[in-house]
């Protein structure tokens, strides 16, 4: 982490905004877009990906892709269909997290869910289990126009896994694949959720065994949807968590962790709470040490907000937040912020019509992306931010 104590807050403003993917005028089969990701390529082009289908986590969902060659001001769809059938088993694809380990070679990672029994819901309210999943990877050497066949990335000893947020890439070339484990659909055992990262030191050809980022010792606090960004020092990272207290039946404030993949098992370290209310929070560390996070908060009205910290995430002044998007949730939501019924909460996750923040550094600003719309039509939005001079 940068130690410069002269870091100052920066004034940001929205320079421009628009749509990466407009779901308002397309067939119903592709009218729901969510699980947003961004990648700025070495060439200067930008790729975006999202889950796409007729419903959130629908059995036939695939991935959408688009490219921008003008710094995010305009976007062109990439007409490529990723295979969702593995060894003859139909499935759905959940996300498209990307990294460019060497210039011109792009890796795309996704979570595949087994849809051989289409009537099965994504979440089983009786066992707290999820559909069986696999973590997959493919690659492109032609700017994302076409992609190789899938190969599986194994997660030894962990099941009920799903990728969580952007792939980490340190300056020395090391990359990290982030995921969480929960529990599989038919597993009768108690849930033991954790947040993990798998490291590759050979440009994504192989990955080491999972490294534990966060796991509550009593499994009563759930560290969901970790989002990690690299620090200046090799192996060091900043992680943010959507944090849920299962015993107290409520979401907690966003939690924060500053750690390193060189720390060993680190089982004694736990994320700490911030002052920020919300769910998924995606961090970005600027070259001068300013820490930004893009956060979704589903209180009424819902917001997508950019926060900043100059003291390594210890404080997040409210007068330095910038609301990017305000949302009126029109879905039939049953759960509030207290006394949450866990099964109903999972139902709500499949209804929310905005969220999933993504943030990337541009040469002269910041690029944000998220999904938002109505329960019937959800599009992928973008906004470009500039620092005031």
What residues of the chain score a pLDDT lower than 50?
1-5, 267
Domains and CATH numbers, the chain: 12-387 (2.120.10.10)
Instruction: Give me the pLDDT at residue 141, please.
Output: 98
100, 208, 240, 312, 320 from 231: Cα distances, Å: 18, 20, 13, 10, 22
* Structure confidence by residue, pLDDT tens digits, 137-159: 999 999 999 999 999 999 999 99
Strand partners, 86: 89
Phi, psi of 87 (to 5 degrees): 50, 40
How many Cβ atoms sit within 10 Å of the Cβ of residue 84? 21
Instruction: Give me the pLDDT at residue 266, please.
Output: 52
Strand extents, DSSP E, 287-364:
291-297, 302-309, 322-327, 354-362
Interacting residues of 122 by C-beta distance below 8 A, sequence separation 6+: 57, 113, 130, 131, 346, 350
Give the whole-angstrom CA distance, residue 284 versus residue 238: 9
Q: DSSP letter string over 18-30?
A: EEEE--SSS-GGG
Instruction: Give me the pLDDT at residue 388, please.
Output: 85
Give the whole-angstrom CA distance, residue 278 versus residue 103: 36
Q: What is the pTM of this model?
A: 0.95
Strand partners, 259: 237
Instruction: Give me the pLDDT at residue 5, please.
Output: 42
Average model confidence (pLDDT) for the chain? 93
Give the whole-angstrom CA distance, residue 207 versus residue 177: 9
Phi, psi of 371 (to 5 degrees): -105, 150
Smallest CA-to-CA distance from 309 within 6, 2, 1, 9 is with 9
Query: Three-state SS for 38?
Result: strand
């Amino acid at each position: 982490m940068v130690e410069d104590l002269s870091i100052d807050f920066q004034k940001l403003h929205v320079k421009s905004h628009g749509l990466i993917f407009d779901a308002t005028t397309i067939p119903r089969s592709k009218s729901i877009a969510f699980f947003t990701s961004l990648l700025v390529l070495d060439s200067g082009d930008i790729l975006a990906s999202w889950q796409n289908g007729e419903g959130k986590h629908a059995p036939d969902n695939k991935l959408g892709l688009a490219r921008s060659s003008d710094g995010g001001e305009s976007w062109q769809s990439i007409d490529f269909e990723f295979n969702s059938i593995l060894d003859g088993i139909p499935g759905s694809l959940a996300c498209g997290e990307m990294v460019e380990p060497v210039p011109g070679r792009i890796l795309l990672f996704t979570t595949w869910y087994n849809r051989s029994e289409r009537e099965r819901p994504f979440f089983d309210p009786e066992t707290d289990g999820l559909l069986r999943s696999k973590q997959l990877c493919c690659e492109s050497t032609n700017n994302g126009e076409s992609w190789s066949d899938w190969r599986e990335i194994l997660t030894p000893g962990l099941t009920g896994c799903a990728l969580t947020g952007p792939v980490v890439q340190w300056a020395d070339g090391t990359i990290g694949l982030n995921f969480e484990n929960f529990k599989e659909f038919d597993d009768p055992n108690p849930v033991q959720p954790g947040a993990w990262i798998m490291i590759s030191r050979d440009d994504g050809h192989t990955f080491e065994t999972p490294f534990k980022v966060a796991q509550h010792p009593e499994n009563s606090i759930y560290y969901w949807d970790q989002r990690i960004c690299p620090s200046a020092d090799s192996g060091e990272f900043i992680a943010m968590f959507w944090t849920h207290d299962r015993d107290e039946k409520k979401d907690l404030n966003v939690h924060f962790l500053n750690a390193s993949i060189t720390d060993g098992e680190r089982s004694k370290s736990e994320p700490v709470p911030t002052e920020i209310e919300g769910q998924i929070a995606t961090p970005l560390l600027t070259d001068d040490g300013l820490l930004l996070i893009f956060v979704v908060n589903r209180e009424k009205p819902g917001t997508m907000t950019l926060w900043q910290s100059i003291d390594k995430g210890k404080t997040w002044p409210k007068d330095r937040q910038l609301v990017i998007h305000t949302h009126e949730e029109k879905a039939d939501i049953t759960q509030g912020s207290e006394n949450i019924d866990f099964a109903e909460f999972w139902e709500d996750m499949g209804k929310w019509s905005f969220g999933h923040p993504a943030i990337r550094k541009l040469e002269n600003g910041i690029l944000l992306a998220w999904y938002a719309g109505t329960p019937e039509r959800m599009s992928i939005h973008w906004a470009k931010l500039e620092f005031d001079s």
